[in-house]
Structure 1
Amino acid sequence: MSTTSTDDTTSSTPTALPGGTWTLGDRQVTRFGYGAMQLAGPGVLGPPADHDGALAVLRAAVRAGITHVDTSGAYGPRVTNELIREALHPYPQPLLIATKVGADRDARGGWPTARRPEDLRRQVQDNLHALGVETLDLVNLRAGDATGPQAGSIAEAFETLAQLQQDGLIAHLGVSNVTAEQVAEARAVAPVVCVQNLYNLAVRHDDDLLDDLARDGIAYVPFFPLGGFTPLQSQALSAVAQRLAVTPTAVALSWLLQRSANVLLIPGTRSVTHLRENVAGAGTVLSEQDLAELDAIGG
């Protein structure tokens, strides 16, 4: 974002966060970021129960030095985007806001796909309006469906976003919920700066893709880094956490940061206290023995 905030409750300060930084496109961001999905109401629908609390979490994240915030117009829908604008606009210069397009919400809380060119143009315009910007920092194309990635071409959808990028409405492009083949297909259309997929200690199907992206300087952003709606449960995880006198959450986050330098974290929370605990926990240093035990969880 190009506008600098004059409000000291939202301005970013140089704070050393776990993992340091990564260059995302032409922007340097903290590897420890923040995911806004949990700020919406139950089922990621409607407003939060604690509106002021949601604003406080966003401001605390930026105050802590976080410069990568992840959102989507489908969260709420529009709720998290509008909270981000209320809490942080005008945005501090270092802050990068990543959003997603490619899915809508239905009355029952479902996530129907919406990847026709007209759908994507509408969603990009909705994100621009809700966030209050002229150019979106980063737009991820969400492929697949609620069950995960699905085989098939994403070329037409990604070409639509590439055209919007050329029109000046998007700065950088990424893909989400995709197969390795779809990543390659998107990269043949336009530069991809990040891939956002399900990945954590227990879900390791993207190991090869993650390593390939690291060699090419492309970020990998795991969603549900702590298991999502089904929190990670593992005797090995608990044992390592107990030995280090930290929480399993701390171990799971620190493992991801130590997994590869191109991993960017976006854990979500609606609590300032929990946010601070996540930041502190992600700084846990894992030994070779710890890593070996944890690696065995995902086979």
Structure 2
Amino acid sequence: MTSHPAAANGTFSIGGEYPVPRLGFGAMRLPTAAGPGRDGAVAVARRAVELGVRLIDTAHLYGWGANEELLAEALHPYPDDLLITTKVGVVRSEGPQGWSYDARPDSLREQVEQGLRRLRTERIGLLQLHRIDPKVAVAEQVGALRELQRAGKIGHIGLSEVTTSQLAEARQAAEIASVQNRYNLLDREYEPVLEACEAAGIAFLPWRPVAAATPARAKEIDAIATELGATTPQLLLAWLLARSPVVVPIPGTSSPAHLEQNVAAGDLRLDRAQLRSLDLLAGPDTP
């Protein structure tokens, strides 16, 4: 078995620099508009840190910078051991989607500078390429981030929604510390990417870590959760933690109660029979 930075206490060392507990927090769902919703979002972000979360995920795309500004308002000055990771490579556009890929080197440099300003920091510990821009060579995109890393603007480089071949190509241009792909018990399309990350000791940050199941399958999953005295989302997070030592889920919520439940999932332990039962349920769910 390959040796990994994941330790017995449930941490993983991102880039060999940030030992974070293996349950992070995705900030995408936090409301940013002025008013009670924003006040509650600030409180949730602060509560996550109080509960021991040390990896918080955001992106330029989330409110076009508003989510980053919210986290800065809530958490700056940041604890030394807190890793806030953001993503670039997607910009606002006039098209029907309202956004487009843009990972040209000049654009990436500008996006990173904007992120630094919004997060009120001189260095982004983990900067992720939100999507590979099909119009720009992978080596050119990752190479631009490598230059920013050498300049001290970026600590470590991550990728999002990549294939195994894209990951391999990116690793030719720079050291990759993390991959953030869609992955959960019922959606394992990127299983080969997770396996590649495990082999290389790269953190794998599954987004959408909890997915709804069809009634028949949900009944079986719920039964296992009941055995553990846990909620179904907690069980699905615990399964991810058991799946591989490089997995660091980033569940998101705007609810303090759900946040506390998510963090508590890190204390769940699945036995072999439960893992076997869940593995039989794994894979694409169809009506």
Report the TM-score range of the alignment, normalised by the length of the smaller protein: 0.7 to 0.9
1:152 shift after superposition? 8.5
Question: Could you say what secondary structure the match of 1:73 adopts?
Answer: coil
Number of positions where the alignment pairs a residue of Structure 1 with one of Structure 2: 271
- The equivalent of 1:138 in structure 2 is 126
Report matched runs for 1:141-220 at 5 Å: 141-144=129-132, 153-220=137-204
8 Å CA contact retained: 1:35, 1:268: yes
Determine what percentage of the aligned residue pairs are the same residue.
Answer: 41
- The equivalent of 2:56 in structure 1 is 69
Question: Could you say what secondary structure the match of 1:51 adopts?
Answer: helix
Q: 1:239 aligns with which of 223, 240, 256?
A: 223
Mapped to 1, the partners of 2:31 and 2:111 lie a distance apart of 18
Mapped to 2, the partners of 1:48 and 1:166 lie a distance apart of 40
Mapped to 1, the partners of 2:195 and 2:261 lie a distance apart of 29
TM-score normalised by L of structure 2: 0.88
1:295 shift after superposition? 1.2
- The equivalent of 2:3 in structure 1 is none
- The equivalent of 1:36 in structure 2 is 27
Question: Could you say what secondary structure the match of 1:237 adopts?
Answer: helix
8 Å CA contact retained: 2:89, 2:103: yes
Mapped to 2, the partners of 1:243 and 1:98 lie a distance apart of 35
Mapped to 2, the partners of 1:19 and 1:183 lie a distance apart of 28
Mapped to 2, the partners of 1:187 and 1:48 lie a distance apart of 44
TM-score normalised by L of structure 1: 0.84
8 Å CA contact retained: 1:219, 1:262: yes
1:144 shift after superposition? 4.8
Question: Could you say what secondary structure the match of 2:91 adopts?
Answer: coil
For structure 2, which runs of at least 5 residues remain unmatched after alignment? 1-7
8 Å CA contact retained: 2:87, 2:129: yes
1:105 shift after superposition? 3.4
Question: Could you say what secondary structure the match of 1:28 adopts?
Answer: strand
- The equivalent of 2:110 in structure 1 is 122
Mapped to 2, the partners of 1:208 and 1:288 lie a distance apart of 23
Does 2:264 match 1:275?
no
1:239 shift after superposition? 2.6
8 Å CA contact retained: 2:103, 2:132: no
1:48 shift after superposition? 7.5
8 Å CA contact retained: 1:213, 1:219: yes
The one-letter code sitting in structure 1 at the alignment partner of 2:39 is D
Mapped to 2, the partners of 1:243 and 1:170 lie a distance apart of 44
Does 2:90 match 1:103?
yes
The one-letter code sitting in structure 2 at the alignment partner of 1:216 is A
The one-letter code sitting in structure 1 at the alignment partner of 2:52 is G
1:272 shift after superposition? 1.2
Mapped to 1, the partners of 2:50 and 2:266 lie a distance apart of 17
Mapped to 2, the partners of 1:73 and 1:182 lie a distance apart of 22
1:210 shift after superposition? 1.4
For structure 1, which runs of at least 5 residues remain unmatched after alignment? 1-17
The one-letter code sitting in structure 2 at the alignment partner of 1:21 is T
8 Å CA contact retained: 2:25, 2:53: yes
Rate the CA distance shift 1:35–1:47 in 2: closer, same or farther, 3 A.
farther
